[in-house]
Structure 1
Amino acid sequence: MSSLDHLDDHQKELLNQFQAVTQSDDFEASISRLSHYNWNLERAVGSVYEANSSHDSAREKLEEEVASSTSSQQPSSNQAAAVTATSSSSSSSSSSTSPSPRQQSSSTAPQRPFRLGLFSLLTWPFGIAWNITWAILSFASRLLSRPSITSSTNSQQQQQRQDPRTVAARFLREFEIKYGETHAEFYQGGYSQALENARRDLRFLLVVLQSDEHDDTEQFCRETMTSEELVNYLREKNVLVWGGNVRESEAFQVSSTLQATTYPFMAIIALQQSSSTSSGSLKMTVVDRIEGPASPSTVIRRFDTVMQRHGNTLNRMRMERDQREMERRLRQEQDQAYRESLKADQEKERQAKLEREAAAKAEEEAKRAEEERLAYAEKRKQYVRYLCRKLPAEPTEGSVAKLSFRLADGERVIRKFKGDVPLEALYEFVEAYPLLKSGENVEDVEEPSDYKHKYGFTIISPYPRTVYDPSTTKTLEEEKSLWPSATLIVDIDDIEDDDEEE
């Protein structure tokens, strides 16, 4: 685990400031020094510059030389002290009043270190002043250029401060507060974005850089950048304007790229064909530079000159771009028309297919219905022949009923029936009578399968009017209106409707 993980936010902030001042990238050494001084930033920074200053190095070197010379002279001093201790009492009085030559040498030896220490004492304030000045300048430089490296929160805040849109909005807000809302329309974005937009839209780009440290900045902004003449000119010529203050990192980088030396600084940039490459590619190029204060008329005049020199190239590019755009729109419209026509044809084909399928289905159903009708008609004929075959002979004796039928064609038929036959026997006789009358051979006819016969007529009695149902189980004897004789009428039904219903 890194040592940074053990630090709190306050300690991380102190570490950032310490590294910014001392220009140090060694985290462990910086943390160790701050910990040694109990996280006292001033003492830790002072210890670094006191140890590294040239004055302290020279002083330490001189002290080392003095220490070495003193150590070399110490044996001679000890010998002189031994000789003095063994001298007679007579010479002690003389030694007390005048020192020996060795004693004079030992007493004058420390004068050289004393002079060096005095020199160091006199120059010490100048070294401290230089160290403090250098620390302040380094600290300011690191704060402006060095990003945060220990705290993710500080990093996000600094990125937010350096966001191009935020910086552009801040520049515009400060400009309007100082000089009013009448000014050139500054692009609200980064320099690279403005450059790309000018390249894409084939527009001239005017870069305006200013510095608060120059005395001409306020007059230039108040008189030139807020001039209605210049504002209208830039709007009429569709010039893209990007402005920035060099105290911001992006504007400072732009000034370095454009090699600005004097502020206020203006650069006119346009898309030009590069002559350095064989392919002649296009790139954004500075076509004019205006350094120092300039009046609105001067800026307009310079712009007119630039447009006369380079405007034809941009106009040609715009025409080519418009031509390509028109061709693209034409192709798009043609493709759209083709797609719509294809869609309409596909819709027509789909409708035609549906109609063909519906017609085929209707035809198939009609064919099937016709086949069913023909099959039903054939089975009906077979059933009528079957009725002729199974119809019993007319009785001549016994309990019989004599019935007179008036058929639909007006023909009258008289027929005798036994009294115990059901009423359906009357319907069977009327149904089979035309075939019986024709004398057709029906001996080998069988009853058709899957067939239910339906009579196409109704037998009624006129006085009183009575309709006889063939599905009833009554016999002739049980029906008083038919016994022993009766006149009946055969009423024909609508057979076609009945067939359709079936």
Structure 2
Amino acid sequence: MDTDALSQSQKDALSQLQTLTNGGDVEVAKSVLESVDWDVQRAAEVIFDNVLPASSPATTMDSNVETFELDDSEQGLFGEHRAGREFRPVDGGFSSALIIRPIRAIITILAIPLYPLFSLIRFILRFLRIPLPNFAPFTLSSLTFPYRSLATGPGRESKAMDPRSVAERWVRELEEETGAVCIGRGHRSRSTGVLAENGNGHGVSSGANASAPGPSMLTARPGAWDPDGHDGEVKFLPDFFLGSYEDFARTCQRDATIGCVILVSEEHDDVAEFKRSTLTDPTFVQLIQDNGILVWGGDIRDRDTWSASQKLQATTYPFVTFIALQPRRAPATANAPAPMLTVLSRHQGPAIPSTSAPTAAQTLTTHLNEQLLPRVTAFLIRVRAQASERERERALRAEQDRAFEQSRKRDKERAEQRAREERLAQEVLRRAVEAEARAIEEQRVKETEARAWQAHRMEWRRWVRRGLMMREPRPGETGRGKTMRVGVRMPDGKRSVRFFGEGDGITALYAYVDSLFIAPEFMQDADPREPPNGNAAGDEGLLAEMEKSGRTPEKWWGFKLVLAYPRKDISWEAEKRLGDVEALKGGGQVVVELVPDSVDVKGKQKQTKVDVDVDSDGYHTEESE
């Protein structure tokens, strides 16, 4: 094949894909890369997962791959740097995959009639709670390429697990292989016997600095430590972040902490020694723990780990890299940009010899103590301090906002209270004005009725003076009975004396007293000759008028007559004679007391109070106050 026409990046991609597939046909590899726009990761997915490339051109980089700056200032300091990309061969090849595909398709078609039987047996076993064997040995995934990062493998479920479950499984397998336990979980299990979790409720392998969504499913493995507190030969692993690589990177960026990524491949012979010596080295593990370095790891046979290896440009395994926030490179005059997640150093290759190998514990410990930590710790502390200051300012602003909101609510409540009080005062004032207006209107109506009644009553007084008030008996007149002398004391203190016959009715006495209330301007000669409203004359007409007005006799007359001493009322009765009044036999002294009318709204007319006095006639009388 003519590869001269390819660019250098295309040649590198072709070389990397051939290394991943252990050689294979160059033309086929080139065609696959061209179909995915020279994206090695997607090309590997097409080959290993039998995924058809998208019809539209794909971008050269996965959208989820974050951009890293590379700090290579420490590269080549420990051990000889290996040139090129060093991948261990894997079983099989690209050419064998071309042969397996048609065979797999034929076997899948032949196995279709057996699917109902397999389903029935699976249902029965599940009902009986018997572990299910794999009844699908001839599926599209059973004969896939033996690269386990993109396929199933021994001890793994056929369906892809979420990154958290994959991380937990890998940590558990690492503990079983090394006989060690994650340091945080080991110490905590001695005291509590439970798996630690961080303050956010996110599970980590030991409950230290890392976090990932959901509770951890890891449990304490018996035999990893002495429950009585005697360590013996107990070995510890770093605390591993349980989650996806994307969550791990975001946590490092959010918390401004150093991240350590550990990538291994079981196909490499150096991985086993790396796990036993480096990952369980007490000095290295304690250094990681003391400096709060967040650790994430996995096997590149898992999809998320393989994707991380592509992003971090891992070339051989075991692979250890340290990442952290670092300031961006920008001109001195420009505004300082936000720091970004940066690869601080890469370490890949064997872990032996223990004093100089790239991934040996002593090499990594020396690098951390003498190179990486002194170089980045001060900046990360400053970043965390700035973040803490921003959080403090945010909390202060939130507190100020809450105080302002509370003050605003109080002011609003006070304003609403004042408005309610003003509305209530206005309502009270309005009701008072309306009540006063009604009172004035009622007063006006009553005064109008009182004036109309007084006018009507004056007409009756004048008629009573003409028609019912009898003249005094003449000397020697005997037709009206024995003459009797009656003295009248008016409410204003005026006295009047008049003679009546014993045969005269009590109406004559009341008519005489009533005539005393007529104003002088009303001349007697001008009094009406007929009763008002055409009523009948005499006591019959008076009774009819009283019933029509709805007033009692005392209120219709407007006064009552009482004997001065001893006090005794002289009530008006129709057709009753003066001689029949026991108190007036032989004459007497009477006092006129006003009776207020119910229609008199002012009610200023009060019953006259009299005190006892003796008039010139020798009768005891009551003086008006």
Aligned positions of 1:365-444 closer than 5 A: 365-391=431-457, 392-393=460-461, 394=464, 395-397=468-470
Q: Is 1:141 aligned with 2:146?
A: yes
* Residues 257 and 294, structure 2, Cα contact 8 Å, conserved in 1: yes
* Residues 256 and 384, structure 2, Cα contact 8 Å, conserved in 1: yes
After superposition, what is the alpha-carbon deviation per residue over 1:167-221, rounded to whole angstroms, capped at 9, x for unaligned?
Answer: 1121233234442353322111111111111112211111122333455545544
Q: Is 1:198 aligned with 2:263?
A: no
After superposition, what is the alpha-carbon deviation per residue over 1:137-178, rounded to whole angstroms, capped at 9, x for unaligned?
Answer: 99433665369xxxxxxxx9634x2x2112112123323444
* Residues 22 and 138, structure 1, Cα contact 8 Å, conserved in 2: no
Q: Is 1:325 aligned with 2:325?
A: no
C-alpha distance 23-227 of structure 1, shift in aligned 2 (>3 A): closer
C-alpha distance 368-460 of structure 1, shift in aligned 2 (>3 A): farther
After superposition, what is the alpha-carbon deviation per residue over 1:383-410, rounded to whole angstroms, capped at 9, x for unaligned?
Answer: 22222211112431499xx998997x99
Q: What is the CA distance between 1:364 and its match in structure 2?
A: 1.3
Higher share of residues assigned helix: 1
After superposition, what is the alpha-carbon deviation per residue over 1:236-262, rounded to whole angstroms, capped at 9, x for unaligned?
Answer: 423221111222222233234334345
* Residues 324 and 341, structure 2, Cα contact 8 Å, conserved in 1: yes
* Residues 506 and 576, structure 2, Cα contact 8 Å, conserved in 1: no
Q: Residue 320 of structure 2 corresponds to which residue in structure 1?
A: 266
Amino acid in structure 1 at the alignment position of 2:438 = E
C-alpha distance 230-487 of structure 1, shift in aligned 2 (>3 A): farther
C-alpha distance 220-384 of structure 1, shift in aligned 2 (>3 A): same
Q: Find the aligned partners of 1:300 and 1:286 in 2 and give their Cα distance.
A: 18
After superposition, what is the alpha-carbon deviation per residue over 1:268-297, rounded to whole angstroms, capped at 9, x for unaligned?
Answer: 101223438998664322112333435656
Q: Find the aligned partners of 1:226 and 1:410 in 2 and give their Cα distance.
A: 131
Q: Residue 251 of structure 1 corresponds to which residue in structure 2?
A: 305
Amino acid in structure 2 at the alignment position of 1:371 = A
Q: Find the aligned partners of 1:384 and 1:336 in 2 and give their Cα distance.
A: 69
* Residues 204 and 270, structure 1, Cα contact 8 Å, conserved in 2: yes
**Which of residues 290, 296, 321 is equivalent to 2:347?**
290
Structure 1 residue runs of 4 or more that deviate by more than 6 Å after TM superposition = 25-30, 32-39, 276-279, 402-407, 409-420, 436-440, 452-455, 457-466, 485-499
C-alpha distance 281-326 of structure 1, shift in aligned 2 (>3 A): closer
Q: Find the aligned partners of 1:374 and 1:239 in 2 and give their Cα distance.
A: 92
Q: Find the aligned partners of 1:497 and 1:290 in 2 and give their Cα distance.
A: 113
SS of equivalent residue, structure 2 residue 469? coil
Q: Find the aligned partners of 1:287 and 1:326 in 2 and give their Cα distance.
A: 30
* Residues 21 and 142, structure 1, Cα contact 8 Å, conserved in 2: no
Q: Residue 107 of structure 1 corresponds to which residue in structure 2?
A: none
Amino acid in structure 1 at the alignment position of 2:366 = R
Q: Find the aligned partners of 1:23 and 1:245 in 2 and give their Cα distance.
A: 23
* Residues 404 and 414, structure 1, Cα contact 8 Å, conserved in 2: yes
* Residues 21 and 138, structure 1, Cα contact 8 Å, conserved in 2: no
Q: Residue 335 of structure 1 corresponds to which residue in structure 2?
A: 401
SS of equivalent residue, structure 1 residue 271? strand
Q: Find the aligned partners of 1:413 and 1:299 in 2 and give their Cα distance.
A: 141
**Which of residues 365, 368, 371 is equivalent to 1:303?**
368
Q: Find the aligned partners of 2:394 and 2:490 in 1 and give their Cα distance.
A: 91
After superposition, what is the alpha-carbon deviation per residue over 1:433-481, rounded to whole angstroms, capped at 9, x for unaligned?
Answer: 99x67989xx9xxxxxxxx9999x9989999999x9xxxxxx944999x
SS of equivalent residue, structure 2 residue 304? helix
* Residues 100 and 143, structure 2, Cα contact 8 Å, conserved in 1: no
Amino acid in structure 1 at the alignment position of 2:392 = M
* Residues 559 and 592, structure 2, Cα contact 8 Å, conserved in 1: no
Q: Residue 153 of structure 1 corresponds to which residue in structure 2?
A: none
SS of equivalent residue, structure 2 residue 243? coil
Q: Find the aligned partners of 1:225 and 1:465 in 2 and give their Cα distance.
A: 129
Q: Residue 611 of structure 2 corresponds to which residue in structure 1?
A: none
Q: Find the aligned partners of 2:112 and 2:418 in 1 and give their Cα distance.
A: 93
Q: How many residues align?
A: 347
Q: Residue 165 of structure 1 corresponds to which residue in structure 2?
A: 164
Q: Residue 123 of structure 1 corresponds to which residue in structure 2?
A: none
Q: Find the aligned partners of 2:494 and 2:286 in 1 and give their Cα distance.
A: 115
Q: Find the aligned partners of 1:190 and 1:374 in 2 and give their Cα distance.
A: 89
SS of equivalent residue, structure 2 residue 325? strand
C-alpha distance 318-488 of structure 1, shift in aligned 2 (>3 A): same
* Residues 403 and 488, structure 1, Cα contact 8 Å, conserved in 2: no
After superposition, what is the alpha-carbon deviation per residue over 1:51-97, rounded to whole angstroms, capped at 9, x for unaligned?
Answer: xxxxxxxxxxxxxxxxxxxxxxxxxxxxxxxxxxxxxxxxxxxxxxx
C-alpha distance 282-261 of structure 1, shift in aligned 2 (>3 A): same
Q: Is 1:174 aligned with 2:173?
A: yes
* Residues 240 and 296, structure 2, Cα contact 8 Å, conserved in 1: yes
Q: Residue 211 of structure 1 corresponds to which residue in structure 2?
A: 265
Amino acid in structure 2 at the alignment position of 1:158 = K
Q: Residue 293 of structure 2 corresponds to which residue in structure 1?
A: 239
Q: Find the aligned partners of 2:497 and 2:96 in 1 and give their Cα distance.
A: 142
Please list every run of 5 or more consecutive structure 1 residues that lacks an aligned counterpart in the other structure.
Answer: 1-14, 40-136, 148-155, 444-451, 469-474
C-alpha distance 334-497 of structure 1, shift in aligned 2 (>3 A): farther
Q: Is 1:315 aligned with 2:320?
A: no
**Which of residues 350, 353, 360 is equivalent to 2:426?**
360
Q: Find the aligned partners of 1:438 and 1:242 in 2 and give their Cα distance.
A: 126
C-alpha distance 333-144 of structure 1, shift in aligned 2 (>3 A): closer
* Residues 144 and 151, structure 2, Cα contact 8 Å, conserved in 1: no
Q: Find the aligned partners of 1:413 and 1:359 in 2 and give their Cα distance.
A: 59
C-alpha distance 371-217 of structure 1, shift in aligned 2 (>3 A): same
Identity level (%): 23
Aligned positions of 1:8-87 closer than 5 A: 23=97
SS of equivalent residue, structure 2 residue 146? helix
Q: Find the aligned partners of 2:395 and 2:429 in 1 and give their Cα distance.
A: 50
Q: Find the aligned partners of 2:487 and 2:278 in 1 and give their Cα distance.
A: 131
SS of equivalent residue, structure 1 residue 186? coil
* Residues 205 and 240, structure 1, Cα contact 8 Å, conserved in 2: yes
Please list every run of 5 or more consecutive structure 2 residues that lacks an aligned counterpart in the other structure.
Answer: 1-49, 52-93, 114-141, 187-236, 352-358, 472-479, 481-485, 528-549, 585-589, 605-625
TM-score, with length taken from structure 2: 0.43
